[in-house]
Amino acid sequence: MTSQTFPATRLRRNRFDDATRRLVAEHSLSADDLIWPIFIREGSGTSEIATMPGVLRAGLEGLAGHVEGAARLRIPAIALFPVTPPEKKDAAGTEALNPENLMCRAARLLKREFPDIVLLGDVALDPYTDHGHDGVLEDDYVANDASVDILVRQAVNQAEAGIDIISPSDMMDGRIGAIRSGLDQSGFVNTRLMSYAAKYASAFYGPFRDAIGSSGALRGSKKTYQMDPANSDEALREVAMDIAEGADMVMVKPGMPYLDIIRRVKERFAMPVFAYQVSGEYAMIAAAARNGWLDEDKAMLESLMAFKRAGCSGVLTYYAVRAAKLLEARK
């Protein structure tokens, strides 16, 4: 790099006015970068999630109306998370395999109403198990291979309902290869896999578990399958294995506390990398804003730009609709 010294070089010149700042911006943010996670439940109407101010559970009967604004803003993708009634949960997560479960009915409805929106389906058993874990238990330990067998069937069930991108969030070993094989054998060769490749055992998931009703049911912790926050080299091994097994895209979760992981993954593998700005991250910004401690819109957009700067192709964020509206107004 050539020598740059003051006063010949004044870095503030390129910050002098808005037009110049836009010309030299290294990264940009648009609605194309956003995936909107939504919570769906039986019935009609909406209900706000107490630990996620402004985020709603939407009844299936009014789901099209709930999603209409996102479609109008051309948000490209929506991730579906079902609130399974307690009476439909059991130790094996049997409801995950029901072609008429809430997830599948929501997928068919949304593909009919909004065929151009890409749908992501969460593949894991925690919304369906009465113990709150992402797989089946054997002697209070989540059994890897037995869980993978069920996850493959869950993925095919979702693909048959119209899910475009299967997103396994369970962190079982070998599940990406098994799901890829299962999808291909069932004729879903173009159904994409976005792997939750580096998903950490995080304290930032609490509000999400409230939202889907699994927090009270969870027995023990998920530390035997989700990653240790102390580890970063291990994340690269996880990502490498998932790519080798057929992942089309990979995800780091949570987002903001793991920007270093996002950067390392992008630089190492040069493939589409996504981050999930999880419920706890959302709740921190929203709660601070409601106390008057932050400007919510500015803090939210700054946080989303951080993901792009770190190397993300896109971000799953509960702020997707709000962000898209702000970005549209700037055009």
**Which residues are marked as active site?**
199, 253
Residue type at 226?
Q
DSSP alpha helices (H): ranges in 270-295?
A: 279-290
Would you tell me how many other CB atoms lie within 10 Å of the CB of residue 153? 14
Q: What is the DSSP string of 2-70?
A: ----TTT--GGGGGSSHHHHHHT-S----GGGEEEEEEEESSSSEEE-TTSTT-EEEEGGGHHHHHHHH
Contact between 135 and 173 (Cβ < 8 Å) = no
Smallest CA-to-CA distance from 58 within 254, 204, 69, 123 is with 69
| Distance separating alpha carbons of residues 184 and 181, to the nearest angstrom | 5
DSSP state for residue 200 in the 8-state scheme: B
Classify 272 in phi/psi space as left (phi over 0), alpha (psi -120 to 50) or beta: beta
